[in-house]
Every structure is written in C-alpha cells, then in structure tokens.
Amino acid sequence: MSKKIDGETLDELYLLDCRSLSRKRKPLLKQIYAIIAPYLDTESVDSSLQIIACTIDLLRNQESVTLNFSRQRYVEHCLKAKNLTPDLVDSIMMQRQYIDSFTNISPGLYITTIHQAKGKEFDCVFVVDIDDVTNEPNLMYVSNSRMKERLYPIKIQYSGVPYSR
C-alpha cells in the first residue's frame, strides 16, 4: 500500500472501525464503508472475504493506491476455496508464505551455510563435507529439504601430500 489512502495515513487507517469509517467524508472511504455496511451483522469468513474482495476491486481503480500483490493473491486463493473454514484460511496463508519466500531468489550460484539456506529452495544443492552433516539430524534434514531437483553430497577426504624439500 502507499503511505496514504484518500489522504489518511496508514496509522490513522489502522485506528478506524466501522463506526468511525461511517463518519468519514472522503469519497474513497465512503465507498469502502458502503461495501462494509451490508455485512456489519455477520461474522462468517465468507462475508469477510467478500468485503476484502470488493475493497480490492475498488482499490485497483485508484491511481494513488498500490496493492500488495502477495496479499491480493492470498485473498483470491481463499475466495476460490470451497467450504472455507478458519483452519483452511490458515493453511492457505501458510502456503502463500511458503510460495512467497521463494519468489525473491534470483537465479545464480549461492554459497551459504546450511543455516543461511533455511527458508529457501534451490534447483541443485551441493553439500560439502557430508560427514559433518550426517552426524546432525537437523542439518541433514535442512540440507536435504533445500533442493528442488538434485542433491550432491560431497565427502572431503584428505589423503595428505608428502612433504619434500
């Protein structure tokens, strides 16, 4: 979202409830209240999503407002679900967060520790010194769950080089 909607700062918008929104004189906020008003007596998840969907449609046409794409996709995903329950809404949120965490990775070579790779996923993963990883079940799980296609375990074995003068 942008810093202001219809002249109201985000902090002011967070403080609004349906009663204070009904007293606003600004055109966009009056339109948002018109969307909310029919649902004031209902508490179902479906009606809440309908309010959000209608508000998103209204805000799409506003040049001064930038919508958060991932949140918009989350609402769209919820609206497509049949028999929506609060548990399903939570599940969809977790799926969206999982998907969003991988969209920020640009192609290339990443050299990281296993701990730095948490929350990310890569096409191919090379695990150097697999002996250290096999001794720690948590590290083994993290290293194996970072790959999309291939995992290459590499065992380091130093055989030594004779010292000569």
76 with 119, same domain: the answer is no
Q: Which of 82, 101, 120 is the last residue of a domain?
A: 101
SS (H, E, C) 85-135: CHHHHHHHHHHHHHHHHHHCCCCCCCCCCCCCCCCCCEEEEEEECHHHHHC
Please state, for a pLDDT cut of 70, what percent of the chain lies above it.
78
On whether the CB atoms of residues 52 and 75 are closer than 8 A, the answer is yes
Q: Which of 57, 80, 101 is the last residue of a domain?
A: 101
pLDDT tens digit sequence for 127-147: 888 887 788 888 888 888 888
pLDDT tens digit sequence for 43-67: 776 677 778 788 877 887 777 677 7
Question: How many domains does the chain fold into?
Answer: 2
Q: With respect to residue 65, please indicate whether it lies within any of the assigned structural domains.
A: yes
141 with 96, same domain: the answer is no
- The model's confidence at residue 1, banded by pLDDT at 50, 70 and 90, is very low
11 with 90, same domain: the answer is yes
93 with 115, same domain: the answer is no
Domain with 139, as residue range(s), is 107-154
pLDDT tens digit sequence for 24-36: 777 777 787 788 7
Local structure of 49: helix, strand or coil: helix
Q: With respect to residue 82, please indicate whether it lies within any of the assigned structural domains.
A: yes
- As given in the structure block, the two tokens for residue 60 are 């799409």
Q: With respect to residue 165, please indicate whether it lies within any of the assigned structural domains.
A: no
